[in-house]
Amino acid sequence: MDQELLRNVPIFAELTEADLEVLGRLATRRRYPKDGVVFFENEEGSSFFMIVDGRIKVTILGDDGREIILSVLSGGDFFGEMALLDNEPRSATAIAVEDSELLCLNRADFQSVVSANPRVMQALIKVLTNRLRKANHQISTLALLDVYGRVARVILEMAREDGRRLKDGAIAFRRATHQEIANRIGTTRETVTRMLKDLQRQGLIAVEGREIVLRPDFEKSFD
Ligand code: CMP
C-alpha cells in the first residue's frame, strides 16, 4: 500500500518496484491534525517526510514573533531533508494547515536510498534548485516591490501553484486567509484586506464563493 503512495512522490518515481517495496516497508505513516506541529525550527532533525495527503506550511518566526511563511507544501512534496543533508538543526518549523497524512523515513534509511540511487539524488537536487529559484524570486519581491506589488505577486504565485485556469485565461484558486497572505510577505492582515478590496474595485480580481478569480489583466499587470 505505501509502495503505491511512494510511487506518487516524484523524487521516487524512477525507483524499481523492488526498491519501492523495500522503501514502503521502511517508511512509517503519521497523521497530524490541523495546526499540528511536525517539528520546530532549531530542533535536531532525524526524519525525512513526504506528504501523502493534506498541506504543510514551512514557517520561520521573526524576532518580533511574527510568522513568515516560506512555503506551503502539498501531496507528493517532501520536507525535512535539509537537516539530514547538512547535519544542522531544522531550518524552519513545519505545521499542518489541514488534517494531513505523512510518510516518514529515518535518517539512515533516507541517506541510504539517496546514496544508492543516483536518479533519486538528481530528482532531489532538481527540487532543491527549484526551491532556491523560488526563494530568489521571493527575495526580489520583498526587496523591490512596495506592499501593494507584494500582495499582488504573492496571490499570483498562490494561484499558479494551486489554481485552475478558466477558459477566458483567468485563474481561480482556493481563497487563502488574509492572515496567511500577510504572513507570506511580512505585512499585516489589515493591509492585505485593504489591498484586496482595492484590486477588487479595479476589477482585477473577483471573490466568488470560496475562490478568488484573477482576471487575465491581473496577470499582465503583475507578472
Ligand atoms: P529542514 O531544515 O530539515 O527542516 C525544515 C524544512 O523546511 C527544510 O528541511 C526543508 O525541507 C523545508 N524548507 C526550508 N526552507 C524552504 C523553502 N524556502 N521552501 C520550501 N521548503 C523549505
For the Cβ of 71 lying below 6 angstroms from any atom of ligand 1, the answer is yes
What number does the ligand 1 atom closest to the CA of 89 have? 2
Mean pLDDT, rounded, of the chain: 92
How far apart are the C-alpha atoms of 96 and 49, rounded to whole Å? 12
Atom of ligand 1 nearest to the CA of 138: 18
Output the residue whose Cα is nearest ligand 1's atom 17: 70
**Cα–Cα distance, 45 to 83 (Å, whole number):** 6
Q: Is 110 in the pocket of ligand 1 (CB under 6 A)?
A: no
The whole model's pTM is what? 0.84
Residue with cell 503583475: 222
pLDDT in tens, 8-50: 888 888 888 888 888 888 999 999 999 999 999 999 999 999 9
What is the three-class DSSP state of 124? helix
Closest atom of ligand 1 to CA, residue 91:
2
User: Which string of DSSP letters, residue by residue, matches 34-78?
Assistant: TT-EEE-TTS---EEEEEEESEEEEEEE-TTS-EEEEEEEETT-E
List pLDDT tens digits, range 23-33.
888 999 999 99
